[in-house]
């Protein structure tokens, strides 16, 4: 891994995109961006201070209160979003390199996921035609009611570093379609995608103030989400920070959506072959070096099949190619930073201390001296009550826990402060569905783990509040207004 990375091709490096123009940070701040696989600082972006936040919020407020964007028809906003998708298509390679260089995502997977990001923008643009922005209903007291979904206002979109483009687009695009003015706040580890997105939006010319990007650290981000002119905070990140933001928003009734952490269970039933279960499960443990909110980190298996499953999982983990994300053979890159490596190592030590047995992994892969790499790691003899089975590790670490019968498997799956995702590994769709209905989690899949931006995604319990993706993800950026009239207005009569 001796390759020296080039700086990303940004139009105005070191600048913030505020109110439709590129501006140098008022106090001259900057953030170094490091590639986690070779520890090279390959970019420096601007760091917003409070004055920059005030400027971005003021521009967004003006755009929302006085500008044309919220008053356009949804189809007109959708047309602009399709232009943004076309711009992103031109920048596909820049976006893929940004993903690889910032996160260490294997480049061929980063390239494929770029197509998904563009499809996401087009999908939401399509909702401009079909979403019930104005819904005429009969009123029992006479006349009709138009149930209108209006934009929620100035929306702050805060994203984490693990999938920086997708997590940001899932907020920014529906917010723009709804008619909001948007301030995007990417993670300081991964700001490049949002800046490229700003260039794409600049190229299509949205009205002034409708979209800003402020790259900022924790304190200034805190200042932003507390700003009294903000109407909605859409947050994806850790449960710790999410709880803090939700409590601040709750005090002021600022609307919020929380996409937080997880500790999801894979329930392996006896009717599926172990090799089939392992093949279907493994990507959801090791991809992104396990830094997936929906990682299947607790693997539940019947006592009698435990040894067979553990052996097969361990063999599969030992064969995962870990290393240079630009090597076409690599499936798993590094963790994001030294502090994440320390955190994962801490949980591995904790699992051992608590009495679980380390089967494979737990160390630095041989031959990878630089970068924040860790081996895929498997524990068995784990108990669901152990701390490392209750807290989110956010690394490629799975714990095998045994159950005696299906009832106990469901109880263990539900015995978690989180409820984000899950998998049921079986040949029997009836059993899979029956179990799925009893697991308290936001999404669950038979024989794998699907996340799809056309369908709602989000968490029960400490995994969050609200949903992203699908029409529900657009609804999250609207307020409902009910207008009573004797008969529908002309434009709605004509449409029906
Ligand atoms: P984090 O909570 O540390 O940071 C997330 C974002 O919040 C970053 O942009 C950060 O700069 C910002 N932030 C931090 N403190 C803030 C504050 N006081 N006010 C405003 N903004 C603040 O999380 P992370 O380490 O970047 O990401 C990992 C976490 O994200 C994991 O817990 C993972 O499960 C979660 N995640 C959840 C989903 C989901 O859809 N549920 C998806 C991806 C990641």
Nearest CA to 131 out of 73, 207, 69, 64 is that of 73
Q: Give the model's confidence band at 495: pLDDT under 50 very low, under 70 low, under 90 confident, else very high.
A: low
Nearest CA to 253 out of 230, 274, 271 is that of 230
CA-derived radius of gyration, the chain: 23
| Nearest alpha carbon, ligand 1 atom 16 | 218
Hey, what are 341's tokens? 């490596």
Hey, what are 182's tokens? 């948007």
Ligand 1 near 441 CB (within 6 A): no
Ligand 1 centroid to residue 45 C-alpha, Å: 19
Mean pLDDT of 195-218: 98
| Nearest alpha carbon, ligand 1 atom 10 | 187
Q: Give the model's confidence band at 199: pLDDT under 50 very low, under 70 low, under 90 confident, else very high.
A: very high
DSSP 388-446: HHHS---SSEEEEEEESSHHHHHHHHHSSSEES-EEEE-S-HHHHHHHHTTS-SS--EE
Nearest CA to 36 out of 374, 284, 393, 327 is that of 374
* 149 in Cβ contact with 183 (< 8 Å): no
Q: Would you state the pLDDT for residue 292? A: 98
Ligand 1 near 326 CB (within 6 A): no
Q: Would you state the pLDDT for residue 3? A: 73
d(Cα 339, Cα 348) in Å, to the nearest integer? 14
Nearest CA to 467 out of 258, 305, 321, 274 is that of 258
Has this prediction a pTM greater than 0.75?
A: yes
> How many beta carbons lie within 10 A of that of residue 130, not counting itself?
9
Ligand 1 centroid to residue 241 C-alpha, Å: 7
Burial of 291 (0-12, 13-18, 19+ CB in 10 A): buried
| pLDDT surpasses 60 at 407 | yes
Crossing angle for the helix pair 74-90 and 92-103, nearest 10 degrees?
A: 70
Q: How far is CA 432 from CA 214, 414, 449, in A?
A: 44, 15, 13
| pLDDT surpasses 70 at 2 | no
Ligand 1 near 63 CB (within 6 A): no
Q: Which helix (H) or strand (E) covers residue 425, if one does?
A: strand 422-425
Give tens-digit pLDDT for 240-298. 999 999 999 999 999 999 999 999 999 999 999 999 999 999 999 999 999 999 999 99
Q: What percent of the chain has pLDDT over 90?
A: 98
Ligand 1 near 191 CB (within 6 A): no
Ligand 1 centroid to residue 281 C-alpha, Å: 25
Q: Which atom of ligand 1 is nearest to the CA of 336?
A: 25
Ligand 1 centroid to residue 236 C-alpha, Å: 5
* 297 in Cβ contact with 313 (< 8 Å): no
d(Cα 181, Cα 456) in Å, to the nearest integer? 23
Q: Which atom of ligand 1 is nearest to the CA of 293?
A: 34
* 136 in Cβ contact with 494 (< 8 Å): no
Q: Are strands 478-485 and 144-151 parallel, antiparallel or unpaired?
A: antiparallel
Query: How many Cα neighbours within 13 Å face the side chain of 389?
Result: 29
Q: Give the model's confidence band at 461: pLDDT under 50 very low, under 70 low, under 90 confident, else very high.
A: very high
Q: Give the model's confidence band at 177: pLDDT under 50 very low, under 70 low, under 90 confident, else very high.
A: very high
* 96 in Cβ contact with 111 (< 8 Å): yes
* Catalytic, out of 47, 189, 202, 259: 259
Mean pLDDT of 329-347: 98
Q: Would you state the pLDDT for residue 457? A: 98
Would residue 375 show up in a list of annotated catalytic residues for this protein?
Answer: no
* 377 in Cβ contact with 358 (< 8 Å): yes
Length of the chain: 496
For the beta sheet containing 478-485, the strands, ordered from the edge strand earlier in sequence to the opposite edge, are 134-138, 144-151, 478-485
Query: How many Cα neighbours within 13 Å face the side chain of 456?
Result: 16
Locus of tokens 């799956």: 413
d(Cα 179, Cα 163) in Å, to the nearest integer? 25
d(Cα 261, Cα 420) in Å, to the nearest integer? 7
* 182 in Cβ contact with 212 (< 8 Å): yes
Ligand 1 centroid to residue 187 C-alpha, Å: 8
Locus of tokens 């860790």: 374
Mean pLDDT of 348-358: 98
DSSP 79-147: HHHHHHHHHHHHTHHHHHHHHHHHH---HHHHHHHHHHHHHHHHHHHHHHHHS-SEEEEE-TTSSEEEE
* 421 in Cβ contact with 315 (< 8 Å): no
| Nearest alpha carbon, ligand 1 atom 40 | 259
Give tens-digit pLDDT for 11-52. 999 999 999 999 999 999 999 999 999 999 999 999 999 999
Mean pLDDT of 399-419: 98
Q: Would you state the pLDDT for residue 116? A: 96
Q: Which atom of ligand 1 is nearest to the CA of 188?
A: 11
Mean pLDDT of 412-426: 98
| pLDDT surpasses 70 at 185 | yes
For the beta sheet containing 16-18, the strands, ordered from the edge strand earlier in sequence to the opposite edge, are 21-23, 16-18, 211-213, 181-185, 154-158, 232-236, 255-259, 464-465
Q: Would you state the pLDDT for residue 428? A: 98
Ligand 1 centroid to residue 158 C-alpha, Å: 8
Give tens-digit pLDDT for 101-147. 999 999 999 999 999 999 999 999 999 999 999 999 999 999 999 99
* 357 in Cβ contact with 311 (< 8 Å): no
Burial of 192 (0-12, 13-18, 19+ CB in 10 A): buried
Q: Which atom of ligand 1 is nearest to the CA of 241?
A: 2
Q: Which atom of ligand 1 is nearest to the CA of 158?
A: 9
d(Cα 150, Cα 474) in Å, to the nearest integer? 11
Q: Would you state the pLDDT for residue 494? A: 66
Nearest CA to 200 out of 304, 369, 87 is that of 87
d(Cα 122, Cα 137) in Å, to the nearest integer? 29
Would residue 259 show up in a list of annotated catalytic residues for this protein?
Answer: yes
Q: Which helix (H) or strand (E) covers residue 478, if one does?
A: strand 478-485
Ligand 1 near 391 CB (within 6 A): no
d(Cα 434, Cα 277) in Å, to the nearest integer? 19
């Amino acid at each position: 891994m001796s390759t020296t990375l080039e700086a990303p091709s940004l139009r105005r490096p070191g600048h913030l995109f505020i109110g439709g123009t590129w501006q140098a940070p008022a106090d001259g701040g900057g953030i170094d961006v490091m590639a986690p696989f070779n520890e090279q600082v390959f970019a420096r972006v601007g760091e917003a201070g409070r004055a920059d936040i005030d400027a971005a919020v003021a521009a967004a407020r003006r755009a929302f209160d006085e500008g044309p964007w919220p008053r356009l028809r949804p189809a007109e906003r959708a047309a602009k979003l399709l232009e943004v998708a076309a711009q992103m298509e031109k920048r596909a390679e820049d976006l893929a390199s940004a993903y690889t260089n910032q996160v260490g995502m294997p480049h061929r997977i980063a390239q494929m996921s770029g197509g998904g990001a563009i499809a996401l923008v087009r999908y939401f643009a399509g909702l401009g035609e079909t979403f019930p922005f104005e819904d005429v209903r009969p009123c029992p007291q006479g006349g009709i009611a138009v149930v209108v979904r209006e934009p929620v206002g100035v929306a702050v979109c805060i994203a984490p570093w693990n999938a920086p483009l997708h997590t940001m687009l899932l907020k920014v695009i529906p917010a723009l379609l709804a008619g909001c003015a948007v301030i995007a706040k990417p993670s300081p580890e991964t700001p490049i995608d949002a800046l490229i997105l700003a260039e794409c939006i600049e190229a299509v010319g949205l009205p002034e103030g409708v979209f800003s990007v402020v790259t900022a650290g924790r304190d200034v981000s805190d200042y932003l989400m507390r700003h009294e002119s903000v109407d909605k905070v859409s947050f994806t990140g850790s449960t710790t920070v999410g709880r803090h933001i939700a409590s601040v928003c709750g005090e002021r009734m600022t609307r919020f959506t929380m996409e937080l952490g997880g500790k999801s269970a894979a329930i392996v039933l006896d009717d599926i072959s172990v090799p089939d279960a392992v093949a279907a499960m493994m990507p959801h443990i090791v991809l992104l070096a396990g830094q997936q909110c929906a990682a299947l980190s607790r693997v539940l298996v019947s006592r009698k099949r435990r040894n067979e499953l553990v052996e097969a999982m361990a063999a599969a983990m030992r064969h995962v190619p870990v290393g240079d994300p630009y090597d076409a053979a690599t499936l798993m890159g590094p963790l994001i930073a030294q502090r994440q490596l320390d955190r994962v190592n801490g949980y591995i030590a904790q699992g051992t201390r608590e009495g679980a047995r380390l089967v494979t992994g737990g160390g630095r892969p041989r031959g990878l001296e630089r970068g924040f790499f860790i081996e895929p790691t498997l524990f068995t003899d784990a108990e669901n009550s152990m701390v490392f089975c209750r807290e989110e590790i956010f690394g490629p670490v799975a714990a095998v826990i045994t159950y005696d019968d299906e009832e106990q498997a469901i109880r263990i799956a539900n015995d978690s402060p989180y409820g984000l995702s899950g998998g049921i590994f079986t040949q029997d769709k009836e059993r899979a569905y029956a179990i799925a209905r009893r697991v308290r989690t936001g999404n669950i899949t038979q024989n794998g783990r699907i996340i799809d931006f056309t369908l709602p995604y989000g968490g029960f319990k400490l995994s969050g509040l609200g949903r992203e993706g699908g029409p529900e993800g657009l609804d999250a950026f609207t307020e409902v207004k009910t207008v009573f009239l004797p008969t529908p207005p002309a434009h709605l009569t004509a449409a029906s």
